[in-house]
């Protein structure tokens, strides 16, 4: 009599078989989940995208630094070409991808090494969810004159000049008129990436920053270069 014919062995094999099946099923499920998870990180769909992941990419890649946290952009004036509003972009996805890879104007190119097509698809999905708000709507009602006072008393002029003209010596960039939307302005002031000291909400409120921003917006564009003979010799 072989051991295989033993009922207890048959039962034991049945139990083992059951657990193997269960285990295999779990592996299949986990593998599928893992595949889905990776797919979400790399691609959340060829055309739909994941807005939540898109928001992370949007911020990690610093898109908000220029276009604003709501993609609102800022209109240009004079030599300042501004930053395009990208909320609810009207571009098709392929055109959007093409523009990010080979931008026109001052936007730096974002190559495939830095951000994948799938991730950009997620960003695209995010942009579709954003309402096309204007800078004014994101701004707290502000007082331009008070903004000018704050610009001086809070020391912004020290590096950026009284009219926000900037200085290569101090490293203070040109601010007037601003070339980024208010949300990006506030974001940078709170957590600057360069040498600029951080201004926390404790030091300067959102309302005050909005007033400073409005002051900067009120600065008229400079005279055209060709009209200044002293700068053409």
Partner 1 sequence: MSCEKVQTMAKPRNNEINRRAFLKNAAAGAAVLAAPPIAPAKHPAPERGATLPPAMSSEAEVGAPSPAEVLTADRTGSDFMVDVIKTLGIEYICSNPGSSFRGLHESVINYGGNKNPEFITCLHEESSVGMAHGYAKIAGKPLGVFAHGTVGLQHAAMAVYNAYCDFVPVYIIGGNIIDGTKRMPPVEWSHSVQDAAAMLRDYTKWDELPTSLPQFAESAVRAYKISMTPPMMPVLLIADAELQENPISPDAKMRIPSLALAAPPQGDSGAVAEAARMLAAAENPVLIVDRAARTAAGVPLLVELAETLQAAVVDMGGRMNFPTRHPLNQTGRGNEEIANADVILGLELNDFWGSVNSFRDQMERTSRPITKPGAKLISISSTGLFFKSNYQNFQRYSEVDLDMAADAQATLPSLIEAVKKQLEASRKSALQARGARLAAARLQTLLKAREAATYAWDASPISTARLCAELWSQIKDEDWSLVSTVGFVSGWPLKLWNIDKYYQFIGGSGGYGIGYGAPSAVGAALANREHGRLSVNIQCDGDLMYAPGVLWTAAHHRIPLLTVMHNNRAYHQEVMQVQIMADRHSRGIDRAKIGTAIDNPGIDYAKLAQGLGLYAEGPISDPKDLAPALHRALEVVKRGEPALVDIHTQPR
Applying CB under 8 A, the residues found at the interface with partner 1 are 79, 153-155, 157-159, 161-170, 174, 176, 194-195, 197-200, 202-204, 222-225, 228, 230-233
Token representation of residue 191: 């957590």
CA-wise closest residue to 183 among 107, 61, 71, 51: 71
> Which is closer to partner 1, CB of 96 or CB of 215?
215
Name the residue nearer to partner 1 (CB basis): 104 or 202. Answer: 202
Q: Which C-beta is closer to partner 1: that of 80 or that of 128?
A: 80
Give the C-alpha distances (Å, rounded to integers) separating 158 from 56, 165, 166, 182, 212: 34, 11, 9, 21, 14
Rounded to the nearest whole angstrom, what is the least distance from the CB of residue 73 to partner 1 in the complex? 22
Helix locations, 61-155, DSSP H? 63-67, 93-101, 117-129, 135-138, 144-153
CA–CA separation, 64 vs 139, rounded Å? 16
CB of 49 to partner 1, least distance (A): 34
User: Cβ closer to partner 1: 88 or 167?
Assistant: 167
Kindly state the smallest distance separating residue 202's Cβ from partner 1, in Å.
4
**Cα distance between residue 43 and residue 131, in whole Å:** 24
Q: How many CB atoms lie within 10 A of CB 186?
A: 23
- Going by C-alpha positions, the residue among 62, 97, 101 that lies closest to residue 83 is 62
Task: Provide, rounded to whole angstroms, the least separation between the CB of residue 172 and partner 1.
Answer: 8
Q: Which is nearer to partner 1, 111 or 198 (CB)?
A: 198
Considering only CA atoms, give the Rg of the chain.
28
- Phi–psi pair at 83, nearest 5 degrees: -125, 130
Minimum Å gap between C-beta 15 and partner 1 is: 59
Shortest approach of partner 1 to residue 102 CB, angstroms? 20
Query: What letter does residue 80 receive in the DSSP assignment?
Result: B
Given the complex with partner 1, which of 50 and 179 has the nearer CB atom? 179
- Smallest gap, in angstroms, from Cβ of residue 94 to partner 1? 32
Measuring CA to CA, which residue among 227, 185, 220, 191 is closest to residue 206?
185
Nearer to partner 1, 142 or 175 (CB): 175
């Amino acid at each position: 009599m072989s051991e295989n014919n033993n009922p207890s062995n048959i039962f034991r094999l049945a139990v083992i078989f059951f657990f193997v099946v269960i285990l295999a099923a779990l592996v299949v499920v986990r593998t599928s989940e893992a595949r889905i998870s990776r797919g979400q990180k790399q691609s959340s769909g060829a055309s739909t995208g994941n807005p939540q992941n898109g928001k992370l990419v949007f911020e990690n890649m610093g898109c908000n630094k220029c276009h604003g946290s709501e993609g609102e952009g800022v209109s240009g004036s004079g030599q300042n070409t501004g930053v395009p509003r990208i909320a609810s972009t009207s571009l098709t996805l392929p055109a959007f991808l093409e523009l990010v890879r080979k931008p026109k104007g001052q936007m730096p190119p974002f190559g495939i090494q830095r951000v994948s097509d799938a991730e950009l698809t997620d960003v695209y999905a995010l942009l579709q969810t954003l309402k096309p708000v204007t800078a004014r709507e994101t701004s707290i009602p502000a007082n331009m004159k008070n903004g000018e006072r704050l610009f001086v008393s809070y020391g912004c002029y020290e590096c950026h000049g009284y009219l926000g003209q900037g200085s290569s010596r101090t490293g203070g960039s040109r601010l007037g008129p601003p070339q980024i939307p208010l949300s990006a302005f506030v974001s940078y002031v709170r957590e600057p990436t360069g040498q600029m000291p951080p201004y926390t909400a404790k030091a300067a409120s959102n309302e005050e920053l909005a007033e400073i921003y409005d002051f900067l917006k009120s600065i008229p564009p400079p005279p055209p270069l060709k009209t200044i003979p002293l700068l053409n010799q």
